[in-house]
Amino acid sequence: MEALIRRIKDIAAENALGFTITLPDCEFVTSGYVIAMLETQNSFGDEGLRRVIGLASDTTGIMGGWNDDGLFYWDAVYIVHDREQAIELGKVNEQIAIYHIENDDLILIEI
């Protein structure tokens, strides 16, 4: 687990605006809508990263990170390729936004 944590932190340092990767191989996800899981809301620091790795490993196998004013947040995420389905999943997970990878587009959601 420690080697995986170090690898993810290195990816975060190189991708400060954010990233989405598969676990445990840390390959970048290059398409789809990214929807954070409600269960990993407000996960940050090493404790949050461990929790996200655990949940992502047990579910979708995908996680991401993003920087908000110098604080890196970690999320276990879903990847969906249909926009309407992604928006509905975002609502179910109480997200204020989802992200479309190909268009580099943040889509705000009305809950």
* Domain assignments of the chain as residue spans, ordered by start: 2-108
Residues 14-27 have pLDDT tens digits of: 998 999 999 999 99
**pLDDT value of residue 86:** 98
Measured CA to CA in angstroms, residue 14 lies from 19, 37, 46, 87 at distances of 9, 24, 18, 29
Q: Which of 99, 111, 95, 109 is nearest to 19 (CA)?
A: 99
83 pLDDT higher than 70: yes
Residues 42-53 have pLDDT tens digits of: 999 999 999 999
**pLDDT value of residue 111:** 66
